[in-house]
Structure 1
């Protein structure tokens, strides 16, 4: 199973890009991740880059298993917590993290925050992660309808992030892949503007992941970016 990928991250309208995105191969495994530093906490760019570096380093020479990905995410959390003690103005820095590993036709992943993973197959598309946000929690509890969630003012308030005090919520997920699948990791600067169905249509019209990420970037720019935005696209051949 061959995996083609493309990575794009942009500061959008902001002076600093607090997103981070990466994709690499380790033996027969393809690993990809995105992170979105929390802008209001200070040091979001430091947190996202530290999470990315730590996550990748933790997986060096380690078999790509669900537990090893989970351990790498926890290691990133601990690295951020340790860096908060440096006293350089990053004492509350935090970040989201969504990461996947693809090997032998199987996807495994870990997730914390409101960055996302999704898969498009044929004419359908499915989100593989659940946002760790106030709005999503109230929606799942039946306290908000889908329509009410769209207009809920606190829908983007995060309830879990790497670097927060205590223990963040880190989810695991998995999915069996087929040739022709299209995978996407996005930060909210993308998926708040380009919704799932539109992402599926753009992917269907793009035979190359580089073309897809450029189409997504063009769409975000045309509509007016409100934040940093990042996407990793992976095409399964």
Structure 2
């Protein structure tokens, strides 16, 4: 059984935005299994929706893991199955489709964030927000190499070109970060439809001042009020204060 040492509450929302005809994002909120996911599909009309839905549908079958390593193994197995299914669909349609994925896994007071693409995972701790994930994009690679500045990245013409995604190749390239859950932590998972219109500081302010449901709905309304040029999906997980006296187990790695 998933035994997160600290209590938590979570919520998710998704919207097609103000411009797109379809919502090709998908998300998953599975507190019983310790899993939260956002996925941003790509590949044109209908195809992107199929890709992101495949990821969520497969991950929804993870079930209750017996340990943190088991949870991680189940996640990777389901993601691999989704990748194979998306590849088969791509071949049958004669097009390339795929999806980003950003996931939060929790068990025994530990967390792991896994991602491919530019959907993000943020951690708000001690009134400070930090981006745990690192975008798999062409512009991020240029930033890392010092080719362009942070200011130039904001207006870079190919800033949305993704370098890794699920379904675009036989092998999945996925990164991860892990750590200990602390009382008061807030995790925010989102597709780039949120970060295109809302700053990190605004995400933090919304998340710390309201319940997960209210924070998600407030952030969504902000995106729509500012034009909502893309699909937007937000999942927020808020950790309690541990008033039951329980503590994380630092020896358990996800």
Q: CA deviation at 1:195?
A: 1.6
Show structure 1 runs of 5+ residues with no match: none
What pairs up with 1:23-42 in 2 under 5 angstroms?
23-26=29-32, 29-40=33-44
TM-aligned CA distance change 1:37 to 1:161, over 3 Å: same
**What is the TM-score when the length of structure 1 is the normalising length?**
0.91
Deviation at 1:73, TM superposition (A): 2.2
Is the contact made by 2:113 and 2:133 (CA closer than 8 Å) also made in structure 1? Answer: no
Counterpart contact for 2:24–2:46, Cα < 8 Å: no
What are the within-5 Å matches in structure 2 for residues 1-237 of structure 1?
1-13=6-18, 14-26=20-32, 29-40=33-44, 43-57=47-61, 59-63=62-66, 64-65=68-69, 66-85=72-91, 87=92, 89=93, 91-206=95-210, 208-237=211-240
Task: Return closer, same or farther for 1:12/1:149 CA change in 2, 3 Å cut-off.
Answer: same
User: How far apart, CA to CA, are the structure 1 residues paired with 2:147 and 2:228?
Assistant: 30
Calculate the aligned-residue CA RMSD, in Å. 1.7
Q: Higher mean Cα deviation, 214-223 or 65-74?
A: 65-74
8 A Cα contact 2:90 2:97, kept in partner: yes
After TM superposition, the score normalised by the length of structure 2 is 0.85
Offset of 1:61 from its aligned partner? Answer: 4.5
Contact between 1:55 and 1:75, CA under 8 Å: does it hold in 2? no
Structure 1 residues 236 and 216: alpha-carbon distance in aligned structure 2, compared to 1, 3 A threshold: same
Cα distance change, pair 42–141 in 1 and its aligned pair in 2 (3 A): farther
User: Aligned equivalents of 1:106 and 1:61: distance in 2?
Assistant: 16
CA distance in 2, matches of 1:37, 1:161: 9
Q: State the alpha-carbon separation in 2 of the partners of residues 173 and 203 from structure 1.
A: 21
State the aligned residue count: 231
Change (3 A) 1:118 1:97: same
Deviates more, 1:178-187 or 1:165-174: 165-174
Structure 1 runs, 4 residues or longer, greater than 4 Å off: none
Q: Report the CA distance shift for 1:68/1:109 in structure 2 as closer, same or farther (over 3 A).
A: farther
Q: Is the 8 A contact 1:41 1:92 kept in 2?
A: no
CA displacement 1:187-218 (0-9 Å, x = unmatched): 00011111211111111221x10110011011
